[in-house]
Amino acid sequence: MLKGKTVLLGVTGSIAAYKIAGLASMLVKQGAKVHVLMTENATNFINPITFESLTGNKCLVDTFDRNFEFSVEHVALAKQADVVMVAPASANVIGKIAHGIADDMLTTTIMACRCRKIIAPAMNTNMYENPILQDNLEICRGYGMEVIDPACGYLACGDIGAGKMPEPEVLYQYILREAGYPKDLAGKKILVTAGPTREAMDPVRYITNHSTGKMGYAIARVAAYRGAQVTLVSGPVDMAPPLFADVVAVESARQMFEAVTSRSREQDIIIKAAAVADYRPASVGTEKIKKKDSDLSIALERTDDILGWLGSHRREGQFLCGFSMETQNMLENSRAKLKKKHIDMIVANNLKVEGAGFGTDTNLVTIITEKMEKELPMMSKEEVADSLLSEICG
């Protein structure tokens, strides 16, 4: 995804500078060409040799006696760059960038870059909330730069509040979204469902399934990376919400039905990856059901058929994709579901196949339409998501 891409990392004087070593390592592992530019103040927090060892490239440091080679270097790097991220970005450097001051290697290179620029402020809370700093950030946004909101937490100065640089994993996702994928879904609205549902029996117990939501979350992330406006309707899962999606948290099948159907008309593409309960208890106890010596029977009733409703109420031009988790007769059952639900595509997998199904980081799926049946090799769920979206776009 980032293989062959050139990423410039600008590191300024902040205690958070040491975290960028982890970000540089992540990028290199993904095949990116990484160049690090540091201010002199940044070298007080981390040695340039660290970045040179990680990236295999000379770390360019702020200097006022630059030789001719370095004067050319900032232009050469600017021409190669696919994306620039300044992290941590101090108040001083943000002010320089906002007002076109290029008095060191970092700011001079940024001035020469035509690619997308991403800024991750990191500083004391009072500095971050200062109206001057906020005005400078707004100026940067006005010039088309992306500003990442800092995290809130305990700061190195002892204060608690906004100003903490996000973790390298978060910064990585911003770079991946900018440089790792084509923006062929820009302007499209996509709704994705993910995870299980929980159907209450009483205030203590519920019926559910083993879905972890990993496949649906991967689809939502990749769709956002490719430029879509993503709404993720998620059952209860043990994962952080995707950064670039509007997440609607639900619990029961009925709640998911209402969340999906109320938003369906405005969507260009709907991908139903959630494992929705087919049945729920016909009545829900208001008090805990007490254990008895005899057996217990629970009457069940059908839940709302979300995919069936979508197939019957779709608007013109809308694309509908469902998922089919099977344990036997996978292709036959999935083809029948495709036809019965009146949808465009179904993604089938077999729970009994190693590397597929619930809770895994990989999946082995077959994409089925009325005219096509395509089995994908074993892939990570992000790769499956990317392939699925390419089939929909194609």
Choose the final residue of a domain: 145, 180, 215.
Answer: 180
Is 210 contained in some domain?
A: yes
| pLDDT number for residue 44 | 94
Q: pLDDT digits over 102-152, tens only?
A: 999 999 999 999 999 999 999 989 999 999 999 999 999 999 999 999 998
Please state the rounded mean pLDDT for residues 256-282: 97
Q: Which one is catalytic: 59, 152, 157, 321? A: 157
Q: pLDDT digits over 19-39, tens only?
A: 999 999 999 999 999 999 999
Q: Are residues 39 and 160 in the same domain?
A: yes
Is 113 contained in some domain?
A: yes
Q: Are residues 125 and 34 in the same domain?
A: yes
Residues 6+ positions from 316 with CB-CB distance below 8 Å: none
Residue 244: pLDDT band with limits 50, 70, 90? very high
CATH of the domain at 352: 3.40.50.10300
Choose the final residue of a domain: 147, 180, 213.
Answer: 180
Is 1 contained in some domain?
A: no
Distance CA 276, CA 282 (A): 16
Q: Are residues 266 and 386 in the same domain?
A: yes
Q: Are residues 56 and 91 in the same domain?
A: yes
Choose the final residue of a domain: 180, 199, 222.
Answer: 180
Q: Name the packing angle between helices 105-112 and 68-80 (round to 10°).
A: 40
Q: Are residues 135 and 244 in the same domain?
A: no
Which of 61-70, 241-250, 324-333, 360-369 shows the lowest mean pLDDT across its residues?
A: 61-70
Task: Tell me whether residue 288 is annotated as binding.
Answer: yes
**Per the structure block, which two tokens stand in for 118?**
């991403």
The answer to whether the beta carbons of residues 56 and 49 sit under 8 Å apart is no
Q: Is 100 left (phi over 0), alpha (psi -120 to 50) or beta?
A: left
Q: Are residues 234 and 372 in the same domain?
A: yes
* Chain length of the chain: 394
| pLDDT number for residue 394 | 80
- The neighbouring-strand residues paired with 244 are none
Is 143 contained in some domain?
A: yes
Task: Tell me whether residue 323 is annotated as binding.
Answer: yes
Is 89 contained in some domain?
A: yes
Q: pLDDT digits over 156-179, tens only?
A: 667 777 888 999 999 999 999 999
Q: Which residue is listed with tokens 């100026």? A: 139
393 is catalytic: no
Is 20 contained in some domain?
A: yes
| pLDDT number for residue 134 | 98
For residue 49, count CB atoms less than 10 angstroms from its CB and return exposed for 0-12, middle for 13-18, buried for 19 or more: exposed
Task: Tell me whether residue 371 is annotated as binding.
Answer: no
Across all residues in the chain, what is the average pLDDT? Answer: 93
- Residue 53: domain span: 6-180
Model confidence at 280: pLDDT above 90 = yes
Please state the rounded mean pLDDT for residues 284-302: 92
Q: Are residues 311 and 352 in the same domain?
A: yes
| pLDDT number for residue 73 | 58
Does residue 163 or residue 361 have the better pLDDT? 361
CA dihedral 153, 140, 38, 151 (to 10 degrees): 10
| pLDDT number for residue 70 | 46
Residues 6+ positions from 317 with CB-CB distance below 8 Å: 268
Distance CA 78, CA 55 (A): 17
CATH of the domain at 14: 3.40.50.1950
Q: Are residues 230 and 108 in the same domain?
A: no
Model confidence at 8: pLDDT above 50 = yes
Q: Are residues 66 and 199 in the same domain?
A: no
Number of independent structural domains in the chain: 2
Q: Are residues 303 and 384 in the same domain?
A: yes
Q: Are residues 236 and 109 in the same domain?
A: no
For residue 288, count CB atoms less than 10 angstroms from its CB and return exposed for 0-12, middle for 13-18, buried for 19 or more: exposed
Residue 313: pLDDT band with limits 50, 70, 90? very high
Sign of the Cα torsion 125, 131, 133, 137 reads: positive
Sign of the Cα torsion 211, 212, 216, 222 reads: negative
Q: Are residues 56 and 98 in the same domain?
A: yes
Model confidence at 377: pLDDT above 70 = yes
Model confidence at 155: pLDDT above 80 = no
